[in-house]
Amino acid sequence: MSLVSIHQLHKHFGDNHVLKGIDLNVDEGQVIALIGRSGSGKSTLLRTINGLECIDAGEITVDGAKIQAGAKDMRPLRLKVGMVFQQFNLFPHLSVGENVMLAPKIVKKTDPAQAQELAEQMLAKVGLSEKFDAFPGELSGGQQQRVAIARALAMQPKVMLCDEITSALDPELVSEVLSVVKQLANEGMTLVMVTHEMRFAREVGDKLVFMHQGRVHEEGPPEALFNAPSTPELAAFIGAIDQA
Amino acid sequence: MAYEFEFAPVLEYTDLLLKGAFFTIALTAVGAVFGIGLGIIGAVCRAWRLQPFAALFAVYVELIRNTPFLVQLFFIFFGLPSLGIHIGEWEAAVLAMVINLGAYSTEIIRAGIASVPKGQLEAAASLAMNRYESFRYVVLRPALQTVWPALTSQVIIVMLGSAVCSQIATEELTFAANFIQSRNFRAFETYFITTAIYFAIAIMIRQLMLAIGKRYISGRLS
Amino acid sequence: MLTQFTTWDIVRNLLEGGKWTLLLSLLAFFLGGVTGLIIVLLRISPNRFLRVIAKVWIELFQGTPLLMQLFIVFFGLSLLGWDVSAWTAAAIGLTLFTSAYLAEIWRGCIEAIPSGQWEASASLAFSPLQQMRYVILPQALRIAIPPTVGFSVQVVKGTAVTSIIGFTELTKSGTMIANATFEPFMVFGLVATAYFCLCYPLSVYARHLERKYHVAC
């Protein structure tokens, strides 16, 4: 059975029907790249998987934790799912180490010594061990995003969601973040990412999901989709990117 | 004949002035701690729309902010006893200051909570924190940090306002000044020096709040 | 002789006091506004000496109790040989108090105008006074209105303190009636209600203006 399974998911924002019956399965260790124009619903879909958006119909199951319409308690889902945001969203009043340790300590009640060790491990993984006592404001965007990845990893999630995590970065800082993501993928982490980095999606992704007008329009192995899009919408989308 | 200023008759009472200053500071300290505490509770109730508390706090804030402190003080000190609630002048002064500062801090801190970016709440939620955890660990400090200058000004305004507590015979700085000028008949000099002491206390509070903000709110030791 | 006060007697006496509260508020707000305008112009003037004077003015009045300011005006003017009434002392004291706060509010508004506006108008060869008159003030004025209206509430409330130097306005009337009727709960309740009726509309209007202009300074 898939690690993440989404079944007939619907979501409205007022009169705007943004997700129109999404079905999607993600296997353990798989790397999924969600692509599509802005407004296609890809970010909203990603956010529902972490309970940041409630759903109007359908269900989401992640490693046995299930969410349906009207669900109030998102905690079981969020304990399985980590998320990295476009704007990093580090906690500015806490040091880098405290950012990473906070949730393990207060949500999982990990004892402080263990949390410290965990944070050191995670920061080492993203190559920022020496920034343990720095504050977010003192770091570059790329470094902040790597801390955000370490913070999410410290909760030992089953799946990580990445919401356009390089879009807010200066061009020269993109690759340091992508190489951390690539390393995670190589270590077998299950990843679902919304991205505009097509080359990266092609290189690291196991499956490409093209969203269009609130539906999964086309999905499959990246090479196949890029080389031979079977719908005119995907062909147009790829064409627009190539020109850019 | 020109008036000759004489400050010596005031300085004879230095110990009384210092005692009065001490009580003004003590009143302000108690008022600030409980007033800001009340403000945090009120701000949370309003920000989270916890009914009926949100509505009660909204009414409370408007009532206090649109009536003079002196009238609030008189109402508490003279009015409440006719309801069978007897309180002394110190209790009345402290209560009035807490209630007054509580209303202003509710509004100030609410603005601080509203200024915390939505992404911070989302990040906290994505880490499986519940509403209380995310408020306690993610929202509160940045919110207080944002509005700390405004809270500082409000504490100073309340401290300066406490001068009218002398009217219910609370023995703070102005009460001491009134007493002294009734003895030495040097009203101008007495109030001049008293005013200078208030000014010094205001500067002291500003520095102290700045230090507290640096040390405990922004979390940086540098 | 102990007379029996009816509720109407109490209300009538309070309204008489309230009239003076209203008059004093209007006078202090108007005179304080004029003085405040002078102070704020000094505060942003190119002359360092004038700036310091304005800064000290603002800090002194914002850093000391209104009650002390009233005492000093009251006793200070009589030392100068002027026979000041409570009304005169109250009007002068509250005017000075108001001028300092308004000057500080307005300074914030003027400084909130982006420096690009100064640069753009300078590049068009405006003189500093012309920059102020045609570019900066019209914009600053717009954002200054909501907090200025908001501060008027503080002026009305500030008038209550003048009761302590013996000016018979609303609060003083309340104290006298409370002493005569032995009904402090009702009397101070009514006094508070009267202040609320004066202040609440101003607060609501200030909030409405703030939302309308979407800015606060």
Please tell me the distance in Å from A11's CA to the nearest CA on chain B: 18
The whole-angstrom separation of Cα C167 and Cα C85 is: 8
C-beta separation of C13 from C76 below 8 A: no
Q: Which among B66, B74, B187 is the nearest to C188, CB-wise? A: B74
- Please say if the pLDDT value at position C127 is more than 50: yes
Set of chain B residues whose Cβ sits within 8 Å of the Cβ of C63: 156, 160, 198-199, 202-203
Q: Which of B147, B146, B151, B63 is nearest to B99 (CA)?
A: B63
Mean pLDDT of the region B9-37: 92
- How many domains is chain C built from? 1
> How far B136 CA sits from the closest chain C CA (Å)?
28
Q: pLDDT tens digit string along B185-210?
A: 888 889 999 999 999 999 999 999 99
CB contact under 8 A, C184 and B161: no
3-state secondary structure of B135: helix
Query: Quick check: B185 and B120 in contact, CB under 8 A?
Result: no
For residue B220, is pLDDT > 70? no
Closest residue in chain B to residue A87, using alpha carbons only: B119
Q: Phi first, then psi: what are they for C168, rounded to 5°?
A: -85, 85
CA distance C58 to C43: 9
Distance, in Å, from the CA atom of A30 to the CA atom of A185, rounded to the nearest integer, reads 8
| Adjacent-strand bridge partners of A194 | A34, A163
Q: What is the CATH number of the domain that holds B28?
A: 1.10.3720.10
In terms of residue numbers, what domain contains C204?
A: 7-213
| Nearest partner of C137 among C105, C106, C98, judged by Cα | C106
The whole-number pLDDT of residue B221 equals: 40
Instruction: Report helix, strand and coil shares of chain B as percent, to nearest 5.
Output: 80, 0, 20
Residue reference for tokens 């200023």 = B5
What HEC string does chain C produce? CCCCCCHHHHHHHHHHHHHHHHHHHHHHHHHHHHHHHHHHHHHCCCCHHHHHHHHHHHHHHHCCCHHHHHHHHHHHHHHCCCCCCHHHHHHHHHHHHHHHHHHHHHHHHHHCCCHHHHHHHHHCCCCHHHHHHHHHHHHHHHHHHHHHHHHHHHHHHHHHHHHHHCCCCHHHHHHHHHHHHCCHHHHHHHHHHHHHHHHHHHHHHHHHHHHHHCCCC
User: How many structural domains does chain B have?
Assistant: 1
Which residues in chain B touch residue A65, judged by CB atoms under 8 angstroms apart? Answer: none
Planar angle of CA C106, C200, B98, nearest 5 degrees: 85
- Taking the CA of residue B126 and the nearest CA in chain C, the distance in Å comes to 32
Contact C184, B82 (CB under 8 A): yes
Nearest CA in chain B to A109: B129
Residue among A75, A85, A151 whose CB faces B119 most closely = A85
Whether residue B179 lies within 8 A of chain C, CB to CB, comes out as no
Asked whether the beta carbons of residue B119 and residue A90 sit closer than 8 angstroms, the reply is no
Question: Is residue C99 within 8 Å of residue C32, measured between CB atoms?
Answer: yes
Smallest Cα distance from B22 to chain C, Å: 16
Percentage of chain B with pLDDT > 90? 71
Q: What is the pLDDT of residue A145?
A: 92
Q: Is the Cβ pair B198, C63 closer than 8 Å?
A: yes
- Residue B171's domain comprises 18-217
Positive or negative CA dihedral for C176, C182, C188, C194? Answer: negative
Question: What radius of gyration do chain A's Cα atoms show?
Answer: 18
Q: Compute the distance between CA of residue C10 and CA of residue C14 in angstroms, rounded to an integer.
A: 6
Beta carbons of B164 and C64 less than 8 Å apart: no
Residue C21, in any domain of the structure: yes
Residue appearing with tokens 């000759």: B4
List the single residue in B with minimal CA-CA distance to A148.
B123
pLDDT digits (tens, 9 = 90+) for B75-106: 999 988 888 888 888 999 999 999 999 999 99
CA–CA dist B152, C32 (Å, integer) = 25
E strand or H helix at A207: strand A207-212
The reported pLDDT for the residue numbered A64 is 85
Determine which helix (DSSP H) or strand (DSSP E) holds A66, and give its type and residue range: strand A65-68
Residue B165's contacts (CB-CB under 8 Å, 6 or more residues apart) are B27, B73, B89, B93, B96, B172, B174, B175
Q: Where are the alpha helices (DSSP H) in A52-162?
A: 75-80, 96-106, 112-125, 141-153
Give A-chain residues touching B128 at CB under 8 angstroms: 75, 78-79, 103, 107, 155
Residue in C160, C164, C203 closest to B71 by CB: C160
For residue B77, the model assigns a pLDDT of: 93
What are the b/e assignments for A42-67, b being 16+ CB within 10 Å? bbbbbbbbbbbbebeebebbbbebeb
Residues of chain B contacting C200 with CB distance shorter than 8 Å: 62, 66
Decide if pLDDT at C107 tops 80: yes
List the one residue out of B145, B142, B107, B108 whose CA is nearest residue B123.
B142
Tell me whether residue B62 is in a domain: yes
Contact A89 B219 (CB under 8 A): no
| CATH number of the domain encompassing residue C47 | 1.10.3720.10
Report the DSSP pairing between strands A31-35 and A207-212: parallel
3-class secondary-structure state, position A209: strand
Is residue C2 situated within a structural domain? no
Decide if C65 and B62 are in contact by the 8 Å CB cutoff: no
Q: Which chains touch B (3 or more CB pairs under 8 A)?
A: A, C
Of B123, B133, B218, the CB nearest to A85: B123
Using a CB–CB cutoff of 8 Å, tell me whether B214 touches chain A: no
Is there an interface between C and A (3+ Cβ pairs < 8 A)? no
Question: In Å, how far is B156's CA from the nearest CA of chain A?
Answer: 26
Nearest residue on chain A to B145, judged by CA atoms?
A: A93
Closest CA to A149 of A107, A194, A180, A114: A180
pLDDT at position A203 is 86
pLDDT of residue B66 exceeding 60: yes
Residue C1 within a domain? no
Residue B212 lies in a domain: yes
Helix (H, G, I), strand (E, B) or coil at B204: helix
Using an 8 Å CB-CB cutoff, list chain C residues near B70: 160-161, 163-164, 171
CB-nearest partner of C171 from B66, B68, B162: B68
Model confidence band, residue C215 (pLDDT cutoffs 50, 70, 90): low
**Average per-residue pLDDT for chain C:** 89
| Single-letter amino acid code for the residue at A94 | L
Q: Is the minimum CB–CB distance between B7 and chain A shorter than 8 Å?
A: no
- pLDDT of C216 > 60? The answer is no
In the predicted model, is pLDDT for residue C214 greater than 70?
A: no
Q: Do the chains contact at B123 and A91, CB–CB below 8 Å?
A: yes
The chains in contact with chain A, meaning 3 or more Cβ pairs closer than 8 Å, are B
Enclosing H/E stretch for A22: strand A16-26
Q: What does the pLDDT read at residue B222?
A: 36
Instruction: Please indicate, yes or no, if residue C112 is contained in any of the structural domains.
Output: yes
Inside any domain, residue B5: no
Judged by DSSP in three states, B139 sits in helix
The per-residue pLDDT string of chain A (244 residues; one tens digit each, 9 = 90 and over) reads 788 888 888 888 888 888 888 888 889 889 999 988 888 889 999 999 998 888 888 888 888 888 888 888 888 888 889 999 999 899 988 899 999 999 889 888 889 999 999 999 999 989 999 999 999 989 999 999 999 999 999 999 999 999 998 888 888 888 898 999 999 989 989 999 998 888 888 888 888 899 988 888 888 888 888 888 888 888 888 888 766 5
